[in-house]
Amino acid sequence: MVATTQIRQPQERRDGAPVPTNHDGTPMPIDPRATLLAQYGLSDDTPDPAFDELACLAGHIGECAAALICFFTAEDQWIKGRWARRSAGCRLHPAPARLYDISLHRPGEPLTALATEQAERLFAPMKLKLQAALPLCAPDGEVLGAILLADRQPLKLHPRQSRALKLLAAQIVEQLELRRTLLGLSQANGWLAQQAVTDFLTATPNRRALDKRLDMEIARAGRTGDPLCLLLLDIDHFKAVNDEFGHQAGDTTLQEVARILQAGLRPYDFLARYGGEEFAVLLPATNLADALVVAERLRATIAGTGFTYGRLTISLGVSRLDPASGAQALMMAADNGLYRAKAAGRNRVLVGKLNPDDPSGSARL
């Protein structure tokens, strides 16, 4: 049924508290409404034209001067839809008003809207009063919010109007359930998309992500004229770790190396697992001399770190982008440097080059 207004004093809120607490200082239990509203994407006062249209429909069904659609938790309230007749004299404006007492809301019971001081201030410019409310209940019966009707005079709703408002409330909840499903699918798709470009073991970007980022950085370098360098590195004698301690130890070692490498880079540098025990590092806006400094610093850091399964070293190849040759040449040159570093005894940094006669070591075909 649609409930009429009762006058009571609203409970005080603890606005501004980081964590809601009881009077004895203990944390309050998590409000299930907050969880549901977050899943519906409704935990804010962002205007939503769809809810304005629903409020308009509710106002016409109830033959009243204004209507609101609100959602609430024990600590917060959000007005998502608002409508008022032109004859009311002005429009409803967003307001952080507490329109009713949360303690009155019980699952499966009628909702009572209170003519609180805040509600009176909200409707006063139109000379209206909050007259009736209809609860918006989740499928489990939890009251999430209400359709609120305001008018100058008490409303005398015909049974068919009450039935229509109940049907409208049910449709709103069905739309919320559909919205929750779509939001869930969107989040799942986002997670899957992230997994597609993330190495599951080290949580670093994978080869696919590297290829995409490399294309982006080459395009950026082409626009700005900034240099771009690439490091390819390999953990020396990594097979020995697997052979002596097992593959789980190898996994742990890869994770530890990835964390140390990431900690030694700038926020806009890009670390990716290239494959096996190899990693790649893109260094935007970095010339060859500075890239060699970065590579040597990473090499020294790894060599000086005590890992879970013993000491490690890495070998690195460095290359610089030649705009005329592109991504493939950049990768091939870095791989050449890595190959030569390992052949020269490992635990060292060498510049790769595709043209033996090029003293600068750029990736020029």
- Active-site choice (174, 277, 278, 296): 277
CB 158 within 8 A of CB 131: no
From the list 279, 354, 363, 274, the residue with the least C-alpha distance to 320 is 363
Q: How far is CA 99 from CA 21, 51, 52, 77, 130, in A?
A: 22, 18, 18, 9, 9
Query: Is 53 noted as a catalytic residue in this protein?
Result: no
Nearest to 171 by CA among 337, 89, 53, 20: 53
- Of 365, 350, 209, which is closest to residue 280 (Cα–Cα)? 209
| Cα-based angle 8, 9, 11 (whole degrees, multiple of 5) | 125
Residue 315, token pair as written in the block: 């070998």
- CB neighbour list of residue 303: distance below 8 Å, 6 or more residues apart: 311, 312, 313, 314, 347
Number of helices and strands in the chain (H, E): 9, 12
- Which residues have a catalytic role annotated? 277
